[in-house]
Amino acid sequence: MKNAYVTGASQGIGKEFVRALAKNYNVILVSRTIADLNKAIAEIEPTAKGLLTALSFDLSKKKSQEDLAKILEKDPDFELLVNNAGFGTVGEFASLDLEKELDEINLNVKALVTLTHAALKEFKKKKKGYIINVASVAGFLPAPGSAIYAATKAFVKSFTEAIHEEAHPHGIYVQALCPGLTHSDFHQRAGIEKSKYPSFMWQDASEVVEESLSALRSNSAVCVTGTVNQGVVGLTGLLPRSWVRKGAGKFMDTSGK
């Protein structure tokens, strides 16, 4: 069996990627908290066909990004990468802690770019490989109240679409995955009140993963999951940009007004 690496693998969307990929791959799970990784492994192992291994890295740190990139480059069986680790912050940009905002860029953008670079170099030699970079519906919107998060996801989407075209002639499949509201701990970590959003807007992480892997088989460059999110993304392309900005700001508003 070949090896798949999933970052942010201990919970949420990452854990569901591990569960699905473990049917066909040995999966290396990466995140910071080793206890949570081991818990995820214990949960998934009974249904897994491949081996599951935990690697603890804080991918907001340059050294960790480089160390993991070296591991990918040295793994002869490396075939699939899911760059999923990411977090969001909410609030007016000027009032947020700058160090945390910069860490968000380090994790959501720099780690993803570093690992994508390592993966592409190896996959080009093998003329085969798969990369899923987790962006978001937020990548289609400038979002007042979540300016850095939406900007990081716009970067991931644009970067990944470009890489998709570059990689295609080498037999490498690259996808920007754009989920909308997905049940996980993400919102609690970001300080977002989940009950603010109606239930029809939410997907389960397993649905997101199923749609992503199905789209990967047909080498779709961008996978927007769920019909509601596809509708939202379609509208953003039709409405005046000022309406899109203001609408996204209302959507992100966590002040309770």
Which is the catalytic residue, given 5, 25, 149, 173? 149
- Show the binding pattern over residues 170-209: x = contacts ligand NAP (CB under 6 A), - = does not: ---------x-xx-xxx--x--------------------
Task: Pick the stretch among 27-35, 47-55, 165-173, 235-243 that binds ligand NAP (CB under 6 A).
Answer: 27-35
Contact between 225 and ligand NAP by CB under 6 A: the answer reads: no
Q: How far is CA 240 from the centre of its chain?
A: 28
Alpha-carbon gap, residue 225 to 231, rounded angstroms: 10
Alpha-carbon gap, residue 215 to 232, rounded angstroms: 19
Let me know if 153 is a catalytic residue.
yes
Contact between 59 and ligand NAP by CB under 6 A: the answer reads: yes
Asked if residue 59 lies in contact with residue 68, where contact means CB atoms within 8 angstroms, the answer is: yes
Contact between 10 and ligand NAP by CB under 6 A: the answer reads: yes
Q: What is the DSSP string of 154-223?
A: HHHHHHHHHHHHHHGGGTEEEEEEE--SBSSSHHHHHT--GGGS-GGG-B-HHHHHHHHHHHHHTT-SEE
Contact between 36 and ligand NAP by CB under 6 A: the answer reads: yes
Contact between 229 and ligand NAP by CB under 6 A: the answer reads: no
Phi, psi of 60 (to 5 degrees): -80, -10
The one-letter amino acid at 247: G
The one-letter amino acid at 155: F
Let me know if 149 is a catalytic residue.
yes
Of residues 12 and 129, the one with the C-beta less far from ligand NAP = 12
Of residues 164 and 187, the one with the C-beta less far from ligand NAP = 187
Q: Footprint of ligand NAP on this chain (CB under 6 A)?
A: 7-14, 31-33, 36, 57-60, 84-88, 107, 134, 136, 179, 181-182, 184-186, 189
Active-site positions read: 149, 153
